[in-house]
Structure formats: C-alpha cells, structure tokens
Amino acid sequence: MTIFNMYIFDKFGTLMYYVEWNRTKKSGITREEEAKLTYGMLFSIKSFVSKISPHDPREGFLYYKTNRYALHYLETPSGLKFVLNTDTAAINVKELLQQLYAKIWVEYVVRDPLWTPGTPVTSELFQNKLDEFVKQSPIFGIRNI
C-alpha cells in the first residue's frame, strides 16, 4: 500500500499543485513538461472514453492500472482534476479523492481569500493539511508510523 504522487489541475490545464511522497523514478523532464504531458494524456483518455463508450458514460474515466502502479482520476463538475498515483492494491481511492476535495481543497484553498482562482496553490497551510490527510489514509502504507 503506497501513495506515490498527486497532481491537481484546474479546468484550463494549469497545474495547481504537485506533490510526491515516495517516487523513486523521475520522468527525466521538467515538472512543467511532465504536467503538460499528463494533462494532455488525461484529456485524450477522457474524450476517448466518452466517444468509445457503448453506453452513455455517467462517470467517464476513473482510473487505469499498469503492473506497477494505478492512476486514479477525479474530476469535479467545475473542471477541477485530481490525479493520484498509488500502488495497484489501493482501494477506495475515489472516496479518498472526494474527501480530499471536500475537506482539504475547499477548506484551505477555495476559502482562502489570498488565493486567486486560476493560480497555482502556494499556501503552506494547505500543503500541511494535505500531507497530513494523505499520510493518515489507510492506503498510504506503514511509513507514517
């Protein structure tokens, strides 16, 4: 059980926030390029999923899995995108992201009058709360003892 890293994008594809916990392999490109690449891929998957779906997709793209990690995706109706990479055994990540959105993002970013919508988040309070929140989740693993 591990959580590797997380990206938060807004609806314009701006990287609002990036954080990593135990990422052993770096991508070898800059943070900005990596974010762009990730966002582009998510965008493509999303449109692919909705075009190919034989039913009306209510939820759309949720996650993909490789043999080493899983990428979980939550998009709010306001276009905010939470992307969380975990190991393949992690469960209930969708609920975790939903909680994270309600309890951390809304609480410490949206309600922060010093934050201008559309700009990356630099609030230290948010960073601490997010870190705390992720580390106390059951899927973070045992490293937090």
Min dist CB 138 to another protein, Å, is 18
User: Which residues are within 8 A (CB) of 142 and not within 5 positions of it... i.e. 6 or more apart?
Assistant: 1
**Residues 90, 11: Cα–Cα separation, whole Å:** 27
Closest to another protein by CB, 59 vs 142, is 59
Min dist CB 112 to another protein, Å, is 9
Residue 3 pairs in a beta bridge with: 86
Min dist CB 107 to another protein, Å, is 6
Closest to another protein by CB, 2 vs 105, is 105
Binding site for another protein (CB under 8 A): 11-13, 36, 39-40, 43, 58, 76-80, 98, 101-103, 105-107, 110-111, 117
Residue 10 structure tokens: 């807004």
19: phi then psi, degrees, rounded to nearest 5? -150, 145
